[in-house]
Amino acid sequence: MSDRTVSVDVCVVGAGPVGLAAALTLADAGRSVMLVDSGHEHLDPQAQSLSTAHILDPKAHAPMAHAVQRGLGGTSALWGGRCVPLDPIDFLPREHVPHSGWPMSQEEAEAHLDDACRFLGAGPSRFQVRDCEGMHTAASPLAEGLSDTDEVRASTLERWSGLPNAWLAHRARAMNHPHLQVLPGHTCTGWLQGADGHVQAAQLVRLTDGQRVNVAARHHVLAAGGVESARLMLHSMHQPSGLRPTGASWVGRCYMGHPSGKLAEVQWHGKPSATIHGFEQHAGTYVRRRLTLPAPVQLTHRLHNIAFWLDNPPIANASHGNGLLSAAYLALRMPFLGERLAPAAIRERMLQGQTPQTLRHVLNCLRTPVATTAFAASFAYHRYVAQPRLPGFFTASRNNRYALHFHAEHAPNLESRITLGEDEDAAGIPRAVIDLRWQENDINAIIRAHDLLDQALRKQGAGELHYLHAASERAQAVRDQSIDGFHQIGSLRMGHGPDHGVTDAMGSVFGCQNFHVAGSALFPTSGQANPTLLAVALAIKQAQHIAHRIAA
C-alpha cells in the first residue's frame, strides 16, 4: 500500500487536553491543523496496548493502563479535574534543588492561565480565598483559630474542572472547525528532518490496515504525554533521517511525578462546625482549601515545595465506624458500580491496605441507616446530575480530627528517566523503560515539612498533628504510598540552551527549527501542583507563538 501525503500548516500529535488546546488555538488563528491520535472517542484496546511499558520499580510507578488513556481527550478521560497553578518559588533556581530554575518568569508562564481555566471549565484563575468574591465562606479560616502567618498559609485554593473530559467538553467545536482535521486511529512513528534542521513530515501508520500517512507541515507539535513524547523522540533520534535535537543528552532524563499520601492526622482545637473540611463553590465551580508553607520557610529549611489538605480517614479500615465511609467502600468494591464511580488507579488506592472487612462495613451502615441513605442520595445527585459536578466526597468529623493528605515536589534527578527497551509495540516502536526514582531528599523533605506544620499549628493554638507512624518508620511510610505516573513531568525539559534542556522557553526543540513539545514534559521542576492547568496555559501560549511565526 503506497504512502499518502497530507499537507497542513501544523501537525499536532496527541489529542489530550494539551494537544486539543494547542490545535484549537491554532485553528482559531486561521492555520490549517491536523490533530492526530492513536485512539478514538472510546477506549480502543489495540491503541491502549501501545502504551504498555517496562516499569523497573512497580512500587514507584503505576501501570500505564492506570496512568494514561489513548484516544480523543487522552488521559482527561481518567482525570479528576484538579486545577492548581505553580508557586512563585517553583520558577526560581534553588541551591538545594538540583537543576532548578525555569527559563521564563512566572508571569510569562501564566500569561494564559485565564484561558486555560476557561478551556478546562474551572472558572476564573483565582486561587486565593481573598480574591474569590461571592464565596460564602471567603472570610472564614479553614479551621477556627487558624490564620495565615509567616510559618503557614491557609488561604490557597485548588479549583476543579466542571467537565474534566476535554473531548466531551470540546468535541462539537473540534469536529466542526473549518481549519481543524481530527485524525483518530493513526499512530505517529517518527518524523523526517532535513539537513537544514527543518522537520519535513510526521510519519503515521493506521494499525487496522497498515496504511501509512505522511503529514507535511510547516510546524509540528508533540503533545503525547511525558512518557510517550520522550519515547517517540528517542525512537526518531535513532532513525537515519529522524530528529536531531542538540539537547539530545537530556531527552528522557529528569522524569518526575509527585510523592503523595498520608503521614499524619490533624486535630483541630476549635469547634468542629467551624472547620471547612470539603468543597465550596465559587463562580460556578468547586474549590477546596489547602495548607502550604511560604517560600522563606522552604528556603530556610531547604524543603521541597508541598501542599496539604484535609481528607477522609482510609475508608477500607472499618474501625472508623462511619456508615457513610463504609457505604462508599462497599460501593467501590462492587464489580459493576465501582468501575463507574472511580478510575481503576483511584479505586485501587482507596481499597488497598486492609483485609476485606465487609461485615464490619455493613454493620457501620446499619448503625446510621437514615443518614447513610440520605448522604448516598445527595452525593449521587451532586456528582452525576447537578452542575457543577461535585469532584468527590467528604464527611465532617464529629471530633474535629481529619486525615492530612500531602502532595509534594519531586526534585529533578538525571537517573530518573525514560529509555527504550528491546521489544517493540504493534507500530514497530521500542517500548518505554520507566525508571522513576524517589531520592532520600524527596522523602526527608516531606517529613520535615510535616514537623514544621505541626509547630506552626501548635504555635497558633489552632491544632496539632498526630503521626500515623513512629518516627523511625515515617520515611518508609512515605515511600510505600508514593506511586506516580499520573503526572508525567520533566522528561523533555525546557532550558536556557541545549546544555540545560531539550527545548527553549517556548517549547521549541533545540536543533529542530520547526518542532515543538507541549505538555508537562517541558517543566524543569515539578512543584507541588498538579500539572494540567499550567500545561494547557503553556500550550495556548506556544500555539499563538507558532501562529505568529507562520504569519510572519
- Whichever domain contains 527, its CATH number is 3.50.50.60
Confidence check: pLDDT of 483 > 90: yes
What length does the chain have? Answer: 552
Tell me: do 198 and 236 sit in the same domain.
Answer: yes
Among the residues of 106-264, which ranges form H helices?
106-109, 113-120, 166-176, 226-237
- In a domain? residue 274: no
Tell me: do 420 and 352 sit in the same domain.
Answer: no
| 456, 308 Cβ separation under 8 angstroms | no
What integer is the mean pLDDT of 273-292?
93
Question: Of the candidates 393, 425, 453, which is a domain's last residue?
Answer: 393
- In a domain? residue 131: no
Confidence of residue 353 (pLDDT cuts 50, 70, 90): low
Query: What percentage of the chain reaches a pLDDT higher than 70?
Result: 96
pLDDT at 341: 67
Which residue has 493502563 as its cell numbers? 65
Mean pLDDT computed over every residue of the chain: 93
- First and final CA of the chain: distance in angstroms? 38
- In a domain? residue 189: yes
Q: Which are the contacts of 366, defined by CB distance < 8 A and separation ≥ 6?
A: 323
Tell me: do 429 and 491 sit in the same domain.
Answer: yes
Confidence of residue 526 (pLDDT cuts 50, 70, 90): very high
What integer is the mean pLDDT of 451-470?
97
- Domain ranges, residue 109: 4-122+163-257+410-438+482-551
Give the chain's domain count: 2
**Per-residue model confidence as pLDDT tens digits over 216-270:** 999 999 999 999 999 999 999 999 999 999 999 999 999 999 999 999 999 999 9
Tell me the three cell numbers of residue 15. Answer: 489529542
Sign of dihedral through CA atoms 367, 369, 373, 374?
negative
Tell me: do 418 and 340 sit in the same domain.
Answer: no
Tell me: do 179 and 204 sit in the same domain.
Answer: yes
- In a domain? residue 307: no
Tell me: do 112 and 179 sit in the same domain.
Answer: yes
Tell me: do 50 and 173 sit in the same domain.
Answer: yes
Tell me: do 325 and 432 sit in the same domain.
Answer: no
| 37, 70 Cβ separation under 8 angstroms | yes
What integer is the mean pLDDT of 539-551?
96
| 438, 60 Cβ separation under 8 angstroms | yes
Tell me: do 185 and 249 sit in the same domain.
Answer: yes
**405 burial class (0-12, 13-18, 19+ CB within 10 angstroms)?**
middle
Nearest C-alpha neighbor of 36 from the set 74, 1, 69, 66: 74
What integer is the mean pLDDT of 405-425?
98
Confidence check: pLDDT of 137 > 80: no
Q: How far is CA 15 from the centre of its chain?
A: 16
Tell me the three cell numbers of residue 508. Answer: 521549541
* Residue 295 three-state SS: helix
Tell me: do 173 and 222 sit in the same domain.
Answer: yes
Question: Of the candidates 340, 362, 393, which is a domain's last residue?
Answer: 393
- In a domain? residue 427: yes
- In a domain? residue 474: no
Instruction: Give 214's strand partners.
Output: 5, 203
| 293, 303 Cβ separation under 8 angstroms | yes
- In a domain? residue 443: no
Instruction: Give 213's strand partners.
Output: 4, 204
Query: What percentage of the chain reaches a pLDDT higher than 90?
Result: 79
Tell me: do 422 and 330 sit in the same domain.
Answer: no
d(CA 135, CA 130): 9
Question: Of the candidates 365, 393, 421, which is a domain's last residue?
Answer: 393
Cα-based distances in Å from 470 to 112, 263, 405, 467, 474: 45, 10, 18, 7, 6
d(CA 200, CA 216): 6
- In a domain? residue 335: yes
Tell me: do 110 and 70 sit in the same domain.
Answer: yes
Q: Which are the contacts of 393, defined by CB distance < 8 A and separation ≥ 6?
A: 312, 324, 328, 379, 383
